[in-house]
């Protein structure tokens, strides 16, 4: 699957965002080695700290279907932002643990801007299980 196709999947996922409080809809899509694509959108709550981001929902959906870190090939995230939508700090921590460090992460927006990065660049010097 090409990067633009995965970004389209993230746009589709974004349509299922539940974001009445921020009004900021985010979509994400994870591509796996077997060709399966998992969608995530941000799901908010009136108790604000309970809001869950699109990226984490997409990665958790993959894991819940039996995929593991080595099965994940690429991640796309998109929102109606001025530049490519960048994952928040909490998502970076989760990506660092659950997503391969060298796999592409496509940050995008609805205008077609795309920036490619990876987990290592999103969160250098990450805290991880080896620190415990
Ligand atoms: N959000 C995401 O879904 N992903 C990010 O990486 C940035 C923030 C969501 C959380 C909340 O529902 C809304 O965007 C505003 O912060």
* Residue 63 and residue 98 in contact, taking contact as beta carbons nearer than 8 Å: yes
pLDDT of 130 reads: 93
Model pTM score: 0.97
Mutate to test the pocket of ligand 1, among 16, 80, 88 (most ligand atoms within 8 A of CB): 88
Output the ligand 1 site: residues, CB below 6 A: 19, 22, 24, 26, 42, 44, 51, 53-55, 87-88, 91
CATH superfamily of 3-131: Cytidine Deaminase, domain 2 (3.40.140.10)
Supply the DSSP symbol for 87.
P
pLDDT of 114 reads: 98
Q: How far is the CA of 22 from the centre of ligand 1 (A)?
A: 9
**Domain ranges, ordered by start, for the chain:** 3-131
* CB count in 10 Å sphere of residue 116: 14
List, by residue number, the catalytic residues.
55
pLDDT of 123 reads: 98
Encode pLDDT of 27-47 as tens digits. 999 999 999 999 999 999 999
Mean pLDDT confidence for 3-22: 98
User: Strand ranges (DSSP E) for the chain?
Assistant: 26-32, 37-41, 72-79, 105-109, 114-117
pLDDT bracket for residue 51 (50, 70, 90): very high
pLDDT bracket for residue 79 (50, 70, 90): very high
Q: How many residues does the chain have?
A: 132
């Amino acid at each position: 699957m090409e990067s633009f196709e995965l970004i389209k999947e993230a746009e589709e996922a974004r349509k299922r965002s539940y974001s009445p409080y921020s009004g900021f809809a985010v979509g994400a899509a994870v591509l796996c080695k077997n060709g399966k694509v998992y969608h995530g959108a941000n799901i908010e709550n009136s108790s604000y700290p309970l809001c869950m981001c699109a990226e984490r929902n997409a990665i958790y959906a993959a894991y819940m279907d039996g995929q593991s870190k080595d099965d994940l090939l690429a991640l796309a995230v998109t929102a109606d932002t001025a530049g490519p939508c960048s994952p928040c700090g909490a998502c970076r921590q989760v990506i660092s643990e659950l997503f391969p460090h060298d796999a592409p992460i496509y940050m995008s927006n609805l205008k077609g801007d795309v920036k490619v990065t990876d987990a290592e660049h999103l969160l250098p010097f990450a805290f991880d299980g080896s620190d415990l």
